[in-house]
Chains A and B, each alone.
Chain A
Amino acid sequence: VYEVFKNVAGKYDLMNDAMSFGIHRLWKDHFIHRMAPVEGTKLLDVAGGTGDIAFRFLQYIQSQNDDPIMVEESFSIPTNIEAGAYSIPSDYAEEEKIDLSGYKEDTSHVTVCDINQEMLNVGKSRAEEAGIFTGIDWVQGNAECLPFEDNSFDAYTIAYGIRNCTHVDKVLTEAFRVLKPGGRFMCLEFSQVNNLGLRRLYDSYSFEVIPVMGQVLARDWKSYQYLVESIRQFPNQKKFAAMIRQAGFGMVTYENLTFGVSAIHSGYKLLKVVK
């Protein structure tokens, strides 16, 4: 698995594009909308080396602050930057892409964890280009054995990463461990297409067209074939939901995107409630 991703790191987006005609960007947007994070959320994004989810997460929270839903409860965005461990040089703060004025230490934060350092490096450079300097941490680690303490995150996401893990159940139990009680596990992944007719189309496209595209675009037939096969051998929506439940999560639900080509699974780490 490591080898595949070493080769593919640079062209990761290209690969996802091939799998989904670029729709994966929409799916990721929808994924974050489903999460609907609120200011102050601590997110752990696993296997998200290039930072797609992390950036969307930060942007979503930022846009919430900019357009308050109720006018009379508008969040006042302080214009002075809180100094601290994250002091931002003033000319960078003028950057239009992500406005970080009002960024405080105890506010929203995302930790991106990936087994592959090169993916993380790609992500880091993308963050620099976008002008994001605070609110993201890049950590190398194995999803089956996370280098984090118990009960330390509000939310855990893994987008298009879990099918590549050898021991999915270990990943799930680790996710359960690092989440705070009441925290949410969300997984975005290629899944089983429900509609039989579409499924045949999708299958023939996957097995015949994609490796060819891989060869042409990235000169790497084998990696792409591996990817297509890894999707097929991954459990379907219901089985995966059962696995999530087995790891201890409650309120496990799933939502199909585009007839099941992708699916969002969600579960909560419930705590004992004092009545």
Chain B
Amino acid sequence: MSTSTGDRNPPQDTSSGPGGSASSQTSNGGYNTQRTGQGAQYSDELDNSEDLVSEVEEEEMPEETEEEYQTKQAVLKASLPFVHQYGWTKKAIVAGAESLGMPSMVHGMFPRGGAELVFYFYEESNKELESFLKQKVTELKEKDEKIKTGPFIHDAIETRLRMIIPYIDKWPQAMAIQTLPQNAVQSWTNLSRVVDDIWFYAGDKSNDFNWYTKRGSLAAVYKSTEIYLIQDRSEDYTDTWNFLENRLEDVVSAGHLARNLQETNTVLSEGAKGFCVMVSQVPTIPKPTEPNRNDK
């Protein structure tokens, strides 16, 4: 776990392999193309394992090709509008597939069912957030302004949460799906991506334990605001944004408190050290000499 400046998760974008989406469906060149990014390391294992003498092998499948990936993404994208009607479920995926003219059997491409829709939406929103942040940073640079961390983070979280609002009627279901154990790891990765992006573009350069505390506290703020959002009934969700502001202030004051404590700690320890030094010097202080009784 490195804590280099602006540590980021590996980018999720794909690069098209040689047998990309231009190939017809009867090509078998797709067998060997690999998708970089997630899990591309399996490709090396597969090539080597074909030559293994041992027949008892782990089940390894080549990573999905660019074409397969695009197909899946297209189906998921077409399924999103049906979420209002069917929720984040297999039925929505079936409806999406059929709207593209594909048979309902296509849902078998998504073994995790509705969770795949949730993750797709989450990832797309994250990508949108990232481009928003990039744009904001370049705008500020052009105006030659410094990034004010507080408002920047507030805007970032607000933008990100607003992306949920179109689906807010079924968002509680999505949150529930994300808490299921089989989905928990992916949800955690998604959340940390959000938080990481925000801090990175806010200009965080910490390379010590602060890196973790910053992301942890921001994740807590984001999650609590998300939960507040889904039950908010105010006009344009203004209550939520106020809640967010308060949470961010809490974090800041907690940060100040931590720093105060640290400083106090330093001062106290310095004082204690000084006291100990003084005490240790006592035996070396020469006793005041007795006046000479013989002097008259």
Q: In the complex, A183→B97 CA distance in Å?
A: 11
* A22 contacts B by Cβ under 8 Å: no
Give chain B residues whose Cβ lies under 8 Å from the Cβ of A35. 105, 108
Residue of A nearest to B24 (CB): A272
Residue of A nearest to B103 (CB): A154
Residue of B nearest to A43 (CB): B105
* A190 contacts B by Cβ under 8 Å: no
Residues 71-115 (chain B) with a chain A CB within 8 angstroms: 71, 74, 85-87, 89-91, 94, 97, 100-109
- With A36-B90, A251-B64, A251-B109 already in contact, the answer to whether A154 and B25 are too (CB < 8 A) is no
Give chain A residues whose Cβ lies under 8 Å from the Cβ of B101. 182
Q: In the complex, A254→B61 CA distance in Å?
A: 9
* B226 contacts A by Cβ under 8 Å: no
Give chain A residues whose Cβ lies under 8 Å from the Cβ of B59. 237, 254, 256
Give chain B residues whose Cβ lies under 8 Å from the Cβ of A269. 25
Q: In the complex, A70→B85 CA distance in Å?
A: 11
Q: In the complex, A273→B76 CA distance in Å?
A: 12
- Can you sample 24 A-B contacts with CB below 8 Å? A38-B104, A38-B107, A40-B104, A41-B104, A70-B86, A73-B91, A155-B105, A182-B101, A183-B105, A184-B105, A192-B55, A194-B57, A237-B59, A245-B30, A246-B28, A248-B25, A251-B64, A251-B68, A268-B105, A268-B108, A270-B25, A271-B71, A273-B70, A275-B70
Contact yes or no, A154 B71, CB < 8 A: no
Q: Contact mask A222-252 → B, CB, 8 Å, 1/0? A: 0000000000000011100110011010111
Instruction: Bin the interface of chain B by size.
Output: 35 or more
Contact among B25, B31, B57, B109 for A181, CB-based, below 8 A: B25
* A24 contacts B by Cβ under 8 Å: no
| Interface of A, helix, strand, loop or mixed by DSSP | mixed
**Tally of contact residues, A, Cβ under 8 A:** 46
Contact yes or no, B108 A36, CB < 8 A: yes
* B67 contacts A by Cβ under 8 Å: yes
Q: In the complex, A249→B104 CA distance in Å?
A: 17
Give chain B residues whose Cβ lies under 8 Å from the Cβ of A236. 55
CB distance from B116 to the nearest CB of A (A): 13
Contact yes or no, B74 A182, CB < 8 A: no
* B26 contacts A by Cβ under 8 Å: yes
Q: Contact mask A162-181 → B, CB, 8 Å, 1/0? A: 00000000000000100011
Q: Contact mask A191-206 → B, CB, 8 Å, 1/0? A: 0101110000000000
* B190 contacts A by Cβ under 8 Å: no
* B21 contacts A by Cβ under 8 Å: yes
Contact among A36, A70, A242, A272 for B21, CB-based, below 8 A: A272
* B126 contacts A by Cβ under 8 Å: no
Contact yes or no, B91 A248, CB < 8 A: no
* B279 contacts A by Cβ under 8 Å: no
Residues of B within 8 A of A (CB): 21, 24-28, 30-31, 55-57, 59, 61, 64-65, 67-68, 70-71, 74, 85-87, 89-91, 94, 97, 100-109
The 9 closest A-B pairs by CB, nearest first: A182-B102, A154-B103, A184-B105, A248-B26, A38-B104, A273-B74, A182-B103, A155-B105, A182-B106
Contact yes or no, B105 A41, CB < 8 A: yes
Besides A182-B105, A250-B71, 6 more A-B contacts (Cβ < 8 Å) are A34-B108, A37-B104, A73-B86, A154-B104, A184-B106, A245-B30
* A253 contacts B by Cβ under 8 Å: yes
Residue of B nearest to A196 (CB): B56
CB distance from A274 to the nearest CB of B (A): 8
CB distance from B56 to the nearest CB of A (A): 6
Contact yes or no, B28 A248, CB < 8 A: yes
Give chain A residues whose Cβ lies under 8 Å from the Cβ of B97. 182
Give chain B residues whose Cβ lies under 8 Å from the Cβ of A183. 103, 105
Contact yes or no, B25 A271, CB < 8 A: yes
Contact yes or no, A154 B105, CB < 8 A: yes
CB distance from B78 to the nearest CB of A (A): 10
Contact yes or no, A69 B91, CB < 8 A: yes
CB distance from A37 to the nearest CB of B (A): 7
Contact yes or no, B61 A253, CB < 8 A: yes
Give chain B residues whose Cβ lies under 8 Å from the Cβ of A42. 103
* A111 contacts B by Cβ under 8 Å: no
Contact yes or no, A37 B70, CB < 8 A: no
Contact among A41, A245, A251, A266 for B28, CB-based, below 8 A: A245
CB distance from B43 to the nearest CB of A (A): 15
Give chain A residues whose Cβ lies under 8 Å from the Cβ of B100. 273
Q: In the complex, A40→B107 CA distance in Å?
A: 14
Q: In the complex, A214→B49 CA distance in Å?
A: 39
Q: In the complex, A256→B102 CA distance in Å?
A: 28
Q: In the complex, A155→B105 CA distance in Å?
A: 7
Give chain A residues whose Cβ lies under 8 Å from the Cβ of B26. 176, 248
Q: In the complex, A243→B205 CA distance in Å?
A: 52
Q: In the complex, A241→B62 CA distance in Å?
A: 11
Give chain B residues whose Cβ lies under 8 Å from the Cβ of A270. 25, 67-68, 71
